[in-house]
Amino acid sequence: MEHQKINIEYDVYDSIDQLAKEDADLLRTAYKATDISYAPYSQFHVGAAAILANGQTVVGSNQENASYPVGICAERVLLSTASSVHPKVPILTMAISYRNAEGKSNKPIPPCGMCRQTLVEYESLLKHPIRLILGGMEGKIYVINGAQSLLPFTFSGDDMK
């Protein structure tokens, strides 16, 4: 038997004020995207904003549906928009935030498993890592240099060959 270990590295900031201006602006855009979220069931509003390699900014928000699990997460709304409006243009950085109407939003939350898989697939498709900025409406912020870090045992097209 061989024992192995996986480590990920990420940066932790105490507040948005510690971020570079471009990162802080992108996170604020993700905050604003929570306003266009449709979350009448969970009251958990998620917004995402990304800067693309062509300089354009794209946003997405979660969209719930009474017929669960028909809803879609903010990250996948953003990826669908980016790939439709700006095909084959890599995402440089994506900021993800949330507003919890039923509680606090004072810590970073990671993308769900389905979004992690989709982010890694998008990175693979465009051969470019997506830097992630994760933060609530206040509190600490995590900056991760690629979605692959969040899903080290990725299932990919290579596994189907």
**Per residue in 120-157, pLDDT tens?**
999 999 999 999 999 999 999 999 999 999 998 888 88
58: phi then psi, degrees, rounded to nearest 5: -125, 145
150: phi then psi, degrees, rounded to nearest 5: -85, -10
Distance (Å, whole) CA 97 – CA 132: 11
Confidence tier at 69 by pLDDT (50, 70, 90):
confident
Sheet with 131-135, strands from edge to edge, namely 11-13, 141-144, 131-135, 91-100, 44-52, 57-61
Q: What does the radius of gyration of the chain's CA atoms come to, in whole angstroms?
A: 16
Please tell me the predicted confidence (pLDDT) of residue 158.
85
Q: Specify the DSSP class assigned to residue 68.
A: T
3.40.50.1820, 3.40.140.10, 3.90.930.12, 3.40.50.300: CATH of 11-150: 3.40.140.10
Q: Distance from CA of residue 16 to its chain's centroid?
A: 17
**Per residue in 3-57, pLDDT tens?**
999 999 999 999 999 999 999 999 999 999 999 999 999 999 999 999 999 999 9
Please tell me the predicted confidence (pLDDT) of residue 76.
98
**Per residue in 77-119, pLDDT tens?**
999 999 999 999 999 999 999 999 999 999 999 999 999 999 9
Are 150 and 131 in contact by the 8 Å Cβ rule? The answer is no
Domain ranges of the chain: 11-150
Confidence tier at 68 by pLDDT (50, 70, 90):
confident
Q: Specify the DSSP class assigned to residue 110.
A: P
Distance (Å, whole) CA 122 – CA 105: 27
Active site residue 123: no
Active-site annotation holder among 2, 22, 75, 102: 75
What are 25's two structure tokens?
């602006």
